[in-house]
């Protein structure tokens, strides 16, 4: 996954080059975490000097989804989280206590055999932090 894939998509969809779009994409790519819109807005000044509106952000995020560059997950409050698309199957956890959405670093092969067509699945359980506190 790289900025080249974004550039291919920009060419094929015939849209203008946007520095903000590139910055948002880089932010999502370099984050280890699943990010929601509020978190992206908070982190964006590190990547892009100007303020962007939430509408603009949603427009760029939808573009990434259309281009298959990111995946979108939802927590139990229907808040959306974004994570870079990978070629491999992924498992995400929505914590049933703190509601954190995170990718699980586990062996996915057994579960992937059960859902061969899925790009990812989401499980609902306690995250590692919350289960350590129990």
Binding site for Zn ion (CB under 5 A): 95, 97-98, 100, 127, 130
C-alpha distances in Å from residue 35, one per residue of 14, 17, 44, 62, 120: 27, 23, 11, 14, 16
What is the separation of C-alpha 11 from the centre of its chain, rounded to a whole number of angstroms?
22
Q: Supply the minimum distance, in Å, between the C-beta of residue 127 and Zn ion.
A: 3
Of 42 and 133, which CB lies nearer to Zn ion in the complex structure? 133
In the complex, least distance from residue 121 CB atom to Zn ion, rounded to whole angstroms: 18
Using CA atoms in the order 65, 69, 71, 72, what is the torsion angle rounded to 10 degrees?
-40
Q: Pick between residue 34 and residue 95 the one whose CB is nearest to Zn ion.
A: 95
| CB nearer to Zn ion: pick between 90 and 95 | 95
Distance CA 32, CA 103 (A): 9
**Least distance to Zn ion, CB of residue 108, Å:** 21
């Amino acid at each position: 996954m790289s900025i080249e894939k974004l550039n291919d998509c920009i060419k094929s969809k015939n849209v203008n080059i946007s520095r903000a779009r590139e910055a948002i994409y880089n932010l999502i790519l370099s984050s280890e975490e699943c990010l929601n819109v509020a978190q992206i807005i908070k982190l964006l000044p590190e990547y892009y000097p100007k303020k962007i509106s939430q509408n603009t952000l949603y427009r760029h995020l939808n573009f990434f989804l259309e281009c298959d560059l990111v995946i979108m997950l939802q927590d139990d409050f229907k808040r959306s989280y974004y994570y870079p698309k990978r070629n491999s199957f992924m498992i995400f956890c929505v914590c049933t206590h703190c509601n954190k959405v995170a990718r699980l670093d586990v062996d996915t092969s057994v579960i992937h055999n059960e859902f061969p067509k899925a790009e990812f699945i989401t499980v609902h359980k306690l995250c590692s932090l919350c289960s350590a506190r129990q």
